[in-house]
Amino acid sequence: MILVFMGFRFYVYKMTKKNCWSVSAFLCAICKMNSKMEISAFSSMIIVTLPFPALPVVCTSECNETNKHASGHDILSSAIMSRTLQCDGSPLPCDTMLQERKKTILIELNKTVSGLWKKYMENEGLYNKEREEDTITQCYLAYCAGFRNYMQCYPGSPDLRIMDLEEVDNNSTVHLQSLAHLNARAKMFGDSCEPLRPCLGYAGLLKEYVQSMYRESQHCQPE
């Protein structure tokens, strides 16, 4: 999925001085849209605001019955569009309780990932490669669990299987989408001036996600 806005202008409402899971505050704006093009663009914008990396969701090839992976971002984008439009193409009414559930999932994900990274730094593991890799793996599992819970807010099978992070190579769609997603979020929320380069491996991208979420958690703390 290419994160573009197709000329459609969006205004992101921020609940705090940083992106502290304000997604639910503006999702109801979908109901004002009339065309599939607008909703497609809006779904791309929603994904930019969400903290999930593109995850390698397991899918099966009909030809040889071997497991392959699809991008979680593509699956989520399709779910957003399907949930938004009724059969006649008109938008569904906004479900306030559903948006609150999504918000809760994102807040819990923030607490878990930020807590893992904070514990890693406090235990003087900042320069310990093995400890860092273990922490990134734990955070990846937290992202996977959070993504499964988030996808349950949409119609579909609850059996969402995600491959190990080692399965993602630098030439995969999952890697390219995660890279584009991180750069888009950095531009939108001002996390970094320099775009990340494609040579950074998937584990390195996950570390960027984790550090970004940790910084966001610090901004969201009461003063």
Per-residue pLDDT of the chain (223 residues; tens, 9 = 90+): 433 333 333 333 333 334 444 444 444 554 555 566 666 677 788 899 999 999 999 987 665 555 578 899 999 998 888 776 654 555 555 678 888 999 999 999 999 999 999 999 887 655 688 889 999 999 999 999 999 999 999 887 778 999 999 999 999 999 999 999 999 888 877 755 566 777 889 999 999 999 999 988 877 655 4
Summarize pLDDT for 162-218 with one digit per residue, the tens. 999 999 999 999 999 999 999 988 887 775 556 677 788 999 999 999 999 998 887
Give this prediction's pTM: 0.78
Question: Could you tell me which residues come within 8 angstroms of residue 176 by beta carbon, excluding any fewer than 6 positions away?
Answer: 198
Q: Is residue 192 part of a domain?
A: yes
Residue the block writes with tokens 């940083």: 18
Amino acid identity of residue 218, one-letter, is: Q
Q: Which residues span the domain enclosing 174?
A: 23-220
Q: Is residue 83 part of a domain?
A: yes
Q: Is residue 16 part of a domain?
A: no
Q: Is residue 7 part of a domain?
A: no
Q: Is residue 102 part of a domain?
A: yes
Q: Is residue 73 part of a domain?
A: yes
Q: Is residue 137 part of a domain?
A: yes
User: What's the confidence (pLDDT) of residue 19?
Assistant: 45
Q: Are 106 and 23 in contact (CB under 8 A)?
A: yes
96-122 vs 129-151: helix crossing angle, rounded to 10:
170
Per-residue HEC secondary structure of 6-40 comes to CCCCCCCCCCCCCCCCCHHHHHHHHHHCCCHHHHH
Q: Token pair of 197, please?
A: 């380069």
Structural domains of the chain, count = 1
Integer Cα distance of 120 and 161 in angstroms: 27
Residue the block writes with tokens 């971002």: 73
